[in-house]
A and B are shown apart, each in its own frame.
Chain A
Amino acid sequence: MNWFALSLDEWNAVRLSVKVATWAMVASLPVAILIAYLLARREFWGKTLLNGVVHLPLVLPPVVTGYLLLLAFGRRGFAGAFLADTFGIVFSFRWTGAALACAVMGFPLMVRAMRLSMEAVDQKLEEAAATMGASPFWVFLTVTLPLALPGIIAGMILSFAKAMGEFGATITFVSNIPGETQTLPSAIYTYTQVPGGDPNALRLTAISVLISLAALVASEALARRVGQRVAE
């Protein structure tokens, strides 16, 4: 067989995975930054609870997370019905649902990396910026965020990599429809379930390894460059 000629289904799975992972990462980024900031710098009632909820997908079985998503964002779920009726956004059995599942599963990793890097930013610098007239918003934008950039990038890459590998929650929530919700892991799983599917599974595995590796290497290089720039 030709190692470099992907079948349509395989090609679709690769493309879909990259698309789903990118959207999952981009869409969760602002929320993750906000929550990481709240956890790192603010004191408020229910902080421990928020922290727990954010970390829940990390400790729950993925199938449970997927099932909960199905309950909430399925056509008949309270959030799903509301979003479908008001904004026309449908998650169930669509690639958007796969992106949502990946975003939720990668969220704790993203928030964690960002929170740690924000906590590592010297608060004395933030105080100095405040004495120079920067409001808390501007302090965050011009001091905390740039100095935490290596951690933000790390969080984004972790979320992307997690999304590339997400399987349990995705397949539970949006099933395994070729061309719509069949991501790389689902496709690999499918090929391992049919006789003679091993070469396809292997090929997709190789691609999966390559993409994840490339993302990690790129993030390392980027984080190092940024890190050098902000290091004192």
Chain B
Amino acid sequence: MTVKVAIRHQLGSFTLDAAFESAGKLTALFGPSGCGKTSIINVIAGLIQPQEAHISVNEEMLADTARGSFLPAHRRRIGYVFQDARLLPHLSVAQNLAYGRWFTPKEERYADEKAIIAMLGLGELLARRPRQLSGGEKQRVALGRALLQSPRLLLMDEPLASLDEARKQEVLPYIERLRDEVNIPIIYVSHAPTEVARLASNIVLLKDGRVVKAGSAAEILPSLGLLGDEFAHETGSLLEMTVVSFDPQFGLTTLGKRHGEVTLWQGNHRSLGYEAIHQQIAITEGPTRLCHRQINVDAASFARDLKASYFFVFVFALVSVSSAVRCLRAAIFAARSMARNLEINVIPRDVSAAPPPFCPPILDVTTG
């Protein structure tokens, strides 16, 4: 699964000159508003015809302006989930879902209708009209609609941006499932670091129409500051740990990483060692998989451990747990600029007591 994109487009005084390649499952285009994120995916979708473009998905050429080829949008078979859902208001949910499928040539239809409807929980919505759906439901239908056209690539333009927090939490798990269970590359536009941290396998940082840096999520998240000072407080560290065990009775999750050591990397420079971080974590178990809640890092104890007057607040860390790979992903964002350029080494408290190859760094669990 490789997506190759190179675009050059002049729009008034704005120049879009971006090239990136992605082999990851979900590539996030991240940057401030007006950096050209949406323009890039509109070019990939074929909705904007740029002056120069070279776009291929899995070696299939979609646009190569050097050779004068530019497939129109309707012949690209690219699923597009818009920020504002854009369901066809005169059609029912079932008809909306069937729309793209109908235009897909028979031999290229791979999408399993029943499985997708079940995966996105759309069964009960089929007879409804778009106006009878909540914002979250609309986005789920939009996801289903894009998948049912058997796309070769899925584009998502801030699909959660127009939803409130509760609706976001409703839709996010579906996007994660889609990423883990559907075998097509996804390009995801966002300006929310938490979303990107939670979903992305690769990140492309964009600023003023140019690629600032691109790479794996763990590599790029600490570098969000490259986009400018307003992003400095949003730099994050990505921490992936294996779920070693889960006790539903007490809601206890045990996480481990080889050698019981977790390194959070935050920018560069100074290195500080810590005995432990107390984290409050609430993880509840869903029917088939572990779900996600926010981790609140115990700021007080963290500051105490610093033995200095530095004041740290970790705003939040979003966690997602995928039962399939038994892996927990946490992104920790530092709220204050103090946390900039800081390397944090977290050494779990009980290294000796815990049997290798893991060590539980997380205690103090609040139950539902």
Contact = CB atoms under 8 A, between A and B. Distances in A.
Interface of A: 124-125, 127-136, 138-139, 142-143, 146-147, 229-232
Interface stretch (B78-86, B219-227, B320-328): B78-86
Given A131-B73, A132-B146, 8 more contacts: A125-B86, A128-B86, A129-B99, A131-B76, A132-B99, A136-B74, A231-B89, A232-B89
Highest count of chain B CB atoms <10 Å: which of A127, A128, A230: A128
B79 A133 contact: no
Contacts of A139: 74
Interface of B: 45-47, 72-80, 82, 84, 86, 88-90, 99-100, 103-104, 130-131, 145-146, 149
Contacts of A134: 74, 99, 103
A135 B102 CA distance: 12
Q: Interface residues of A: mostly helix, strand, loop or mixed?
A: helix
A133 B151 CA distance: 10
Contacts of A131: 45-47, 73-74, 76, 78-80
Contacts of B79: 131
Given A146-B90, A229-B90, A128 B149 contact: no
B131 A128 contact: no
A135 B131 CA distance: 26
Contact of B104 (A133, A138, A147): A133
B13 to A, nearest CB: 23
Highest count of chain B CB atoms <10 Å: which of A130, A131, A138: A131
Given A124-B82, A232-B130, A133 B90 contact: no
Given A134-B74, A138-B103, A232-B131, A129 B84 contact: no
A130 B88 contact: no
A127 B82 CA distance: 10
A76 B84 CA distance: 59
Nearest to B86: A128
A229 B130 CA distance: 11
Q: Sort A-B residue pairs by CB-CB distance and give the 10 closest, nearest first.
A: A133-B103, A132-B100, A232-B89, A128-B86, A131-B80, A130-B73, A230-B90, A130-B74, A146-B90, A135-B74
Contact of B90 (A124, A127, A138, A147): A147
B89 A230 contact: yes
A134 B103 CA distance: 6
A229 B47 CA distance: 28
A130 B47 contact: yes
Contacts of A142: 88, 99
Nearest to A226: B90
A170 B182 CA distance: 66
B86 A132 contact: no
Nearest to B73: A130
Contacts of B100: 132-133
A117 to B, nearest CB: 13
6 contacts: A124-B84, A127-B73, A131-B46, A133-B104, A231-B131, A232-B130
A128 B88 CA distance: 9
B74 A133 contact: yes
Given A124-B82, A124-B84, A132 B89 contact: no
Contacts of B88: 125, 128-129, 142-143
Contacts of A125: 86, 88-89
Contacts of B130: 232
B80 A128 contact: yes
A231 B87 CA distance: 12
A231 B90 CA distance: 7
Nearest to B79: A131
A213 to B, nearest CB: 29
Contacts of B73: 127, 130-131
A140 to B, nearest CB: 12
B139 to A, nearest CB: 13
Nearest to B102: A133
A9 B22 CA distance: 80
Contacts of B45: 131
B149 A132 contact: yes
B23 to A, nearest CB: 24
A45 to B, nearest CB: 20
A125 B100 CA distance: 13
A138 B47 CA distance: 16
Highest count of chain A CB atoms <10 Å: which of B73, B80, B130: B73
Contacts of A130: 46-47, 72-74
Contacts of B46: 130-131
A139 B100 CA distance: 12
B47 A147 contact: no
Contacts of A132: 74, 99-100, 103, 145-146, 149
A139 B72 CA distance: 13
Contacts of A124: 82, 84, 86
A143 B86 CA distance: 12
A230 B130 CA distance: 10
Contacts of B75: 133
A178 B145 CA distance: 60
A128 B82 contact: yes
